Structure 1
Amino acid sequence: MEQTKQLGWDITRYDGNISSKDHVEIEEEFPLTIVLNGEEFATMICSPTHLRELIIGFLASEGVIRKTEEITSIHVDEDQGFAYAEIDRPLLLDDHSKRFIGSCCGKSRQFYFKSDVRTAKTIQSKMTVSVEKSAKLMRLMQEGSEQFLRTGAVHNAALCTPDELLFIRTDIGRHNALDKIYGQVLDKKIRMADKLIVFSGRVSSEVLLKVSKIGAGILISKSAPTRLALELANDLGITVVGFARGNSLNIYTHGDRITEV
């Protein structure tokens, strides 16, 4: 399993009035600059795992590519923090929007690009999942994220069927975790009609758009959604489940996909 390089840190821990010394693992923030067709395209702050999937998913979510065959080469230089990708056509002006993409949630990310109009999908999936299985999938994702259990500093996203968790991707940026899922879906040509996404982060409008582009009809999150995300989910046919914690959850949109048994 691909692992993030862990950085140790000496801390003082307090339990009530009792102090102790400890050495803990700290998650790494890794700046990665994507050079596309020889031009600097974007710099993102991410976790240095599954970088090829991250690049594929990011380019797809930005509307630069539709399928992996459009990428002719990817080379990642982790020592220098650069990824060099080539696609099979010249960059269009709409494609080229050099910017900094932070790992934090919200204002550092830009969205509402023209590419969102082209690539967001209306979901027609008839798949259903029970409340019990939804809770189980959330638990499996949380228990299966070794990076989160060690550091507590990453977001998790998992691709699932109603009956099993297929794989987990983690990153300090919740958007990056979803792009890694998208990259694997495209790279392995995974059929999405019977798949759903389980997610640890807040469901913002951008998160909802990414789920739409991936093609999942159900998003189950541990956290809360925003109003704009729910309005988009209603329009795009996506079931949003939030606050999935323990045996409880909230169903916000398209609740016919969530069953009692």
Structure 2
Amino acid sequence: MSTALPRLSSARVDPLREIEILDEYGARRRILIPLERPLTIYVDKRELVTLMTLGAQPELLVLGYLLNQRLIESPAQIEAIQVDWEVGAAAVKTRAGLAEIEARTAQRVVTTGCGQGTVFGDVLSHIEAVRLPDARSARISQGGLQAILEVVRQQDSLHRRAGSVHGCALFEGATMLLFVEDVGRHNAIDTIAGWMALQRIAGADKVFYTTGRLTSEMVMKSAQMGVPIVVSRNGVTQMGHELATRLGMTLFGRAANRRFLCYTGFERFDAEPLPPPAPTAVQLVVGGAPELARSR
């Protein structure tokens, strides 16, 4: 098989648009909102799926989508990805076609969340083949987690300027390797997957961060990228929790500032527990005379 990387267009577009709004004070003013666009993917001239995206890095999004759907095993299977925003299309040309693509894409599942992701029905059946590093070689400390959260807190983002988007990031230690925002968290993680594949970056020693909730789709895609530790500002669904447990992944949720919940994979986590909060003084009135009591 060829080891050549695909030729990619460079079709980035402005992710924001300015509009006029009327606020609660009756004032008219200009604000920025995310500019959502449809991007239809064609593989060897066959229509595959339409993604709703900001279009910041569409070629990486398309490549990561094909990888995370297990439609390709390597970027080397792709000869070119050309995005044309005038027609809202991404033309993917493979080197030798995709085997059994009709059967493999016959069943689609529309997933939860912003932008409505799509997963082809047989993807989950292959998840048992994923092998992640054991807990001795892939770990995170509480201090390391806090360092990641601080980097995210200081990150300049479209969300701060316009809202209505999700952000995802890939970390090596406390170093942010890539930060991507899109209307759907599934688009952002696919873009990161595409970038990792092109850069030939392995996920075993990485941490994935997302602002979105940890659904089964997000957990599955993280696992397919080889990343065993996932951090979310949001929570986790039952299916996400169950899948991470089966795969031996470590999931953190409700992670912001210095707070977090570790849902699964405690064996990878070097906890440094904070002292419990001090009891607060509560004033009680007994028989007309105030008394101080300790709340527990």
TM norm structure 1 = 0.90
| Conservation of the 8 A alpha-carbon contact between 2:210 and 2:232 | yes
Higher RCO by CA contacts (8 Å cutoff, separation 6 or greater) = 1
CA RMSD, 1 decimal = 2.3
Give the AA of the match of 1:231. E
State which structure, 1 or 2, has the greater radius of gyration over its C-alpha atoms.
2
Q: Note if 1:13 corresponds to 2:20.
A: no
1:182-261 aligned at under 5 Å gives the runs: 182-260=193-271
Give the AA of the match of 1:122. R
Match 2:124 to one of 113, 116, 122: 116
Q: What residue is the counterpart of 1:161 in the other structure?
A: 172
Give the AA of the match of 1:63. R
| Conservation of the 8 A alpha-carbon contact between 2:108 and 2:120 | no
**Structure 1: gaps (5+ residues):** none
Q: What residue is the counterpart of 2:42 in the other structure?
A: 35
Q: What secondary structure does 1:66 align onto?
A: coil
| Conservation of the 8 A alpha-carbon contact between 1:42 and 1:97 | no
Q: What residue is the counterpart of 1:72 in the other structure?
A: 79
Deviation track 1:20-69 (CA, whole Å, cap 9, x = no partner) reads: 43211010111000010111111111111111110010001111111110
| Conservation of the 8 A alpha-carbon contact between 2:168 and 2:209 | yes
Q: What secondary structure does 1:94 align onto?
A: helix
Q: What residue is the counterpart of 1:146 in the other structure?
A: 157
Distance in 2 (CA, whole Å) between partners of 1:142 and 1:184 is: 23
Residue 137 (structure 1) shift: 1.4
Give the AA of the match of 2:268. R
- Going from structure 1 to structure 2, the CA distance change for 1:255 and 1:219 (only over 3 Å counts) comes to same
- Percent identity between the aligned chains? 25
Q: What secondary structure does 1:192 align onto?
A: coil
Q: Note if 1:89 corresponds to 2:96.
A: yes
| Conservation of the 8 A alpha-carbon contact between 1:160 and 1:166 | yes
Q: What secondary structure does 1:8 align onto?
A: strand
TM norm structure 2 = 0.80
- Going from structure 1 to structure 2, the CA distance change for 1:186 and 1:107 (only over 3 Å counts) comes to closer
| Conservation of the 8 A alpha-carbon contact between 1:132 and 1:247 | no
Distance in 2 (CA, whole Å) between partners of 1:24 and 1:110 is: 31
Aligned length: 256
Deviation track 1:209-238 (CA, whole Å, cap 9, x = no partner) reads: 011111101000000001111111011111
Residue 135 (structure 1) shift: 2.8
